[in-house]
Structure formats: C-alpha cells, structure tokens
Amino acid sequence: MTNITGAAQTAIDGYAAEMAKGSDPSATIYNIASSMAKFYLPGCTSFTLGTITPFPDEEFARTAIVQELDRFDKMRLGRDVRLDGLRIEPLSDLSAVCC
C-alpha cells in the first residue's frame, strides 16, 4: 500500500527545492520553470492568487511558470519564492490534496 502522505511530502520537498533555486542569481527563469513544471501532471489545475489555470501538459505549465516568475521580477518582488506552510489532505491511498 502506498503511504500517500509520505509520497506527497517527498513531492512537495522536491518542488520546494526547485522553487528555492530562484534565490540563485545565475539560475534562469526558464530553467527554474522547467524543473518546477515537471511536478505538474497533465490535467492539473492551478489555483493561484484568485486565478484558476488548467495545465494540459508540461509545456503549458512551464510557460505559465515563466510568466509568473517574470511578473514577480517586473514587480520587483524577485524570484526567491519559498514554501511557507503546508497541509496534506489524503483523499485515498493514491491521492492527496496539498495546500
């Protein structure tokens, strides 16, 4: 049986590590977005700051992440985005909601 909570935590830790690369000034937005996009399964829907965005595939996810990171740069917020808090809600043995 899959330990869905442990699997979700492992995925989130990996995603957070990719997000943290934004603090490296030599990392490009494209490279950061490419590594983050690998965590989005086809058909995933993102709910971010009041915006609902379905991600049909990894390419779309990468493009959306590039646009978001670029927007942060233009607003002078920078790319050093960090995970601040986490809740994992198991739905079944094979799925969980992470928020």
DSSP 15-56: HHHHHHGGG-TTS-HHHHHHHHHTTSPTTEEEEETTEEEEE-
Residue with tokens 């609902």: 52
94 near 2, Cβ under 8 Å? yes
55-95 per-position pLDDT tens digit? 999 999 999 999 988 988 899 888 887 888 889 999 999 99
Interior angle at CA 9, CA 43 and CA 68, nearest 5: 50
Beta bridge partners of 97: 89
* Token duo for residue 40: 């989005």
33-49 per-position pLDDT tens digit? 999 999 998 999 988 77
Q: In the chain, where are the structural domains located?
A: 4-98
